[in-house]
Chain A
Amino acid sequence: MNFFNQSKIFSFINKYHNLILVFFLAVLSLGLIEALIISPEDYLQGHSVRIMYVHVPSAWISLGIFSSMAFLSILVFIFKNKNLVIITKSLAPSGFIFTLIALVTGSIWGKPTWGTWWAWDARITTMLILCLFYLMYLLAWRIFENKDSVVKITSLITIIGAFNIPIIKFSVDWWSTLHQPSSIKILSDSKIHESMLVPLIIMTAAFALFSLLIFLMKYNTELIKIKNKGLDRL
């Protein structure tokens, strides 16, 4: 496992964990002030639009993490690198939580906006499927004891689940859905005003920092687990 130096990574995480935590809390505090106080209400949705500042970043990060996991899993199949397996496994818990947050906050937002807590809308249903893929991935690590089998099974889960990602993304364009189309575009002008875009970006940064923090702690945990097994073999 010499993808990069493990003792340096471990030392880095231990040294900078508190700094990342403090930075996350600072950015989150700023984001919450922007989201709850400074940003304006929507002319149609009123103050319920503020739910966007937790719902949208969660959805973005959950999709980003699963896409990364799928990419890493393909590399695992090609290069059989154990470090990539640890990285993928360490990404999963935060990805799962963000998917859950996106679903629950979306449901809460749906009630005042659409008059319902849930609808079998394309976007919502495919996000639920993503949540199930995350759950299958996490449970597979607990259920299967054979290390080689679990790596293959979990990698397959992420690769198959990755086919759902573009469906989630384009569902609002392909079908006539309850869920609104994307307001934020990378390659063209976004339809969102900067007074809402700024808090959205700040909250996304805060959520990304949180997922980084969790990833680093989880990665360290997995490293130590492996070293614990190493001590048993001595």
Chain B
Amino acid sequence: MINFLSMNGYGVYVFSAFVFTMVSFLGLYLIVRYQLKKEKQKFAEKFGKLKLDKVSVANKQKINKEILSASIFSKI
């Protein structure tokens, strides 16, 4: 295990490169996921505040229904 981690002295370079890559992936994924969740929540709140007549207009667009159902049931 120690040999694997040290990699003949190159371990610190190899693992820091891999760790930086994985941390960057995780960071970007979390940021984009947060942005998506925030917009879904905003949509659900705005939709909830619409008056009845405007709800029927909004419901005519299929994508609005998709976004609303995703906002309620999504785990993203």
Contact = CB atoms under 8 A, between A and B. Distances in A.
Interface of A: 6-7, 10-11, 14, 17-18, 32, 35-37, 41, 46-48, 50-51, 54-55, 58, 93-94, 97, 100-101, 104-105, 108-109, 111-112, 210, 213-214, 217-218, 220-221, 223-225, 227-228, 230-232, 234
Interface of B: 4, 7-11, 13-14, 16-18, 20-21, 24-25, 28-29, 32-33, 35-36, 39-40, 42-43, 46-47, 50, 54, 57-58, 61-67, 70, 74-76
A230 B59 CA distance: 12
* B28, B33, B65, B70 pick with most chain A CB within 10 angstroms: B28
B36 to A, nearest CB: 5
B32 A93 contact: yes
A108 B20 contact: yes
B76 A47 contact: no
B66 A105 contact: no
A58 to B, nearest CB: 7
A10 B63 CA distance: 7
Contacts of A228: 39, 42-43, 46
* B4, B21, B36, B66 pick with most chain A CB within 10 angstroms: B21
B62 A7 contact: yes
